[in-house]
Amino acid sequence: MKRHLRIATVLTLVMTLLAACSSGGNSGGGSGGSSEGASNGNDSGEGKKLVVGFSQMENNNPWRIAETKSIREEAQKRGIELVYSDAQSDTSKQVADVEDMVAQKVDYIILAPREFEGLTPAIEAAKKAGIPVILVDRLVKGTPGEDYVTFLGSNFIQQGQRAADWLIDAMGGQGNIVELTGTPGSSVAMDRQKGFADRIQEKAPEMKIIASQTGDFARAEGQKVMENLLQAYGDQINAVYAHNDEMAIGAINAIKAAGKVPGKDIIIVSVDGTRDALNAIIAGEMGATVESSPFFGPPVFDVIEQLERGEQVPTEIIIEDRFFDSSNAAEFVDEAY
C-alpha cells in the first residue's frame, strides 16, 4: 500500500512539472522593448509566428512618429509579432535595446540607427547570433550584405543637392546662408550637409555658408540655435538651410521673434515634407522642402517576406521622394503627416 502511494505521489509531481513547462514562453518584453502581437498569425516554420524587433532611435517628432506608426500598422496587417523599443535619442540605450532583442531571439531586427559608428556593437551582436538586420532611414558603419542585409532610405546627398538647387534659383546665386544640421555623427546629417555644400560650391560659389550649427533635428533646439545665429550675424543672414522641417519651423519662430519676416527677409529651405512645413510654405514663411518619406512599413516587410521565401534582396533600396514648394504645397498638405 505504501509503495503504491509513493508511486502515485511521484506521478503527481511529474505531471505538475510538465504542466508548468508547457505554460511557459517568451513574452517579448524585457528592457529592450514591448511585444505587440497580432491575432491573424503569419506563422513561419512549424506553426511559429514570425517575431520582428524594431529599434527606433526616438519617437518625439512628427517624422519619427509617422515612421513608427507605419511599421507597427504593417506588422499588425501581416500578422507579425513586433517587439518595439524607443532609444529616446540615446545611442548607448539603442545598443542595449538591440542586444536585448538578440537575447529574445527575434527572427529579424529593423534598425533606425541614431549614429553611424555608435551602433557597431549592436550590429556585431546580431550578426554573431545570426539574426538579419535591416536598416531603415539611416546607415551604420559596416558592409551591406554581410553586417546587415540591406538599407532602405532616401538619397540624402541628393536631398541636399535639391535643396541647394532651389535656393540658388530663389536667391539668384547670391547671399549668405546659415545651416541647421542634424544629429552629429548620423549618416543623414553628414550626407545632407555634403550634398548641399558641394552643390553650392559647384553652381553658386558667390553664395556663402557663413555658419553651420547642430539643432539635433529638434524644433526647440533649432529655434535656440537660430536665435543665437541672429544675434551673431543679424542682417548678414539671407537664407536658412535646415536638415529637417522641425528645425526649420524653430528657425521661423526665432526669425519672427527677432522682428524679421520669414520668407521675405530670410528665405528658408528644408527637408522632410511634414504638414507643418507645407502649411508654412502655403503661408509664405518657408520656401520649399524636399520630401523624405517615413512610410517604411510596406517596403521593409516586403523585404522580410522575400527573405522568408529564400530570395535575394538588393543591399540598397532607395525611396523616391517628391519636392514641395508654393506650386504644389496646397495640393499635398492634406496627405502629409
Which domains does the chain carry?
28-153+294-319 (3.40.50.2300), 156-292 (3.40.50.2300)
Whose CA is closest to 199, among 156, 244, 169, 162?
162
Residue 79: DSSP 8-state: T
In this prediction the pTM is: 0.83
pLDDT of residue 48: 80
- Going 263 to 266 to 267 to 272, the CA torsion angle's sign is negative
pLDDT of residue 6: 43
pLDDT of residue 47: 60
Strands 34-36 and 81-86: antiparallel
pLDDT of residue 264: 97
Enumerate residues 6+ apart whose C-beta is below 8 A from 245. 62, 63, 270, 271, 272, 273, 274, 276, 277, 289
Residue 163, classed as helix, strand or coil, is helix
Residue 26 pLDDT exceeds 50 = no
Length of the chain: 337
Share the mean pLDDT of the chain.
90
Residue 214, classed as helix, strand or coil, is strand
Residue 164 pLDDT exceeds 60 = yes
The residue type at 296: F
Whose CA is closest to 271, among 238, 296, 239, 242?
242
pLDDT in tens, 257-278: 999 999 999 999 999 999 999 9
CB 251 within 8 A of CB 237: no
DSSP letters along 179-202, please?
EEE-STT-HHHHHHHHHHHHHHHH
Query: Which residue's C-alpha cell is 522632410?
Result: 272
Least confident of 37-46, 192-201, 280-289: 37-46
Task: Name the residue with higher pLDDT: 27 or 189.
Answer: 189
Residue 3 pLDDT exceeds 70 = no
Query: Which residue's C-alpha cell is 512549424?
Result: 46
- Going 274 to 279 to 280 to 286, the CA torsion angle's sign is positive
Least confident of 29-33, 61-65, 118-122, 138-142: 29-33
The confidence band for 305, taking pLDDT boundaries of 50, 70 and 90, is very high
Residue 166 C-alpha cell reads as: 532651389
Residue 50, classed as helix, strand or coil, is coil
Query: Which residue's C-alpha cell is 520656401?
Result: 287
Q: How many CB atoms lie within 10 A of CB 92?
A: 11
Round to whole Å and give the CA distance between 247 and 223. 7
% of the chain with per-residue pLDDT over 90: 85
Residue 50 C-alpha cell reads as: 514570425
CB 287 within 8 A of CB 281: yes
pLDDT in tens, 178-237: 999 999 999 999 999 999 999 999 999 999 999 999 999 999 999 999 999 999 999 999
Label residues 26-43 b or e (16+ Cβ within 10 Å = b): eebebebbebbbbeeebe
Task: Name the residue with higher pLDDT: 329 or 29.
Answer: 329
Q: Which helix (H) or strand (E) holds 108?
A: strand 108-111
| Angle, alpha carbons 302-306-307 (nearest 5°) | 120
- CA distances 203 to 63, 161, 165, 172, Å, are 31, 10, 8, 11
pLDDT of residue 36: 72
Residue 21 pLDDT exceeds 90 = no
DSSP letters along 233-296, please?
HGGG--EEEESSHHHHHHHHHHHHHTT--BTTTBEEEEEE--HHHHHHHHTTS--EEEE-----
pLDDT of residue 10: 37
Residue 255 pLDDT exceeds 90 = yes
pLDDT of residue 18: 38
pLDDT of residue 40: 43
